[in-house]
Structure 1
Amino acid sequence: MGNMSAVTDAEFEQQVLLADKPVLVDFWAEWCGPCRQVSPILDELAGAHSDKITFLKMNVDENPVTPSSYRVTGIPTINVYQGGQVVKSIVGARPKAALLKELADFI
């Protein structure tokens, strides 16, 4: 998690919804195998593209309110927020090439 900061329910509005650039939020959990597969890919993307988009992680076990309000039922779920709205949602693990393609509008 070198290039990605954690965000909590309490910080979500300020850090995500009110942000002036797009924000990617990786909803994950410690016990989730596919989450562990996607994490290093997202961390690498964060290192390369953090000038255009902010990369954050939210542990769904420690922060149940936000995932519930955005109907996050499967993890990993990667949501991109822009102007306070979800503009992209990716559910499930993807290889790096697929993530790059899906996030091309933002990075």
Structure 2
Amino acid sequence: VGLGIPKEGIFTWCCGLVMHAETELVDESYDLINAFASPEAGAFEISNWGYGHANMKAFELVSDDVLEELGLSTPESLLGNGIFFQALAPEIEESYIRLWDEVRASY
């Protein structure tokens, strides 16, 4: 079994860290954001979790074999062919929440 990229594209998302406007730990917050954005943290995320990373220098720290195996050898094309998650309509999101609550309540 191997990784396959569907011709329709793969589900794609972007996420990151933000700092709350009222934080009292400004320096520590910046330290965390900077650490997460570092090439070394990105290389760990790629190699251990199979995720892409915002810092392109992270890809330089990962072997071509690993990038190829994960389908990350050309991140630009991956993003270009990806299907980005969209926000759900509120009524659909609410129905998912109710269904999930039912599932959890059954355990």
Regarding TM over 0.5, the answer is: no
**TM-score, structure 2 length as denominator?**
0.27
Greater relative contact order (Cα 8 A, min sep 6): structure 1 or 2? 1
**TM-score, structure 1 length as denominator?**
0.27
Larger radius of gyration: 2
Could you say which structure has the higher helix fraction? 2
Could you say which structure has the higher strand fraction? 1
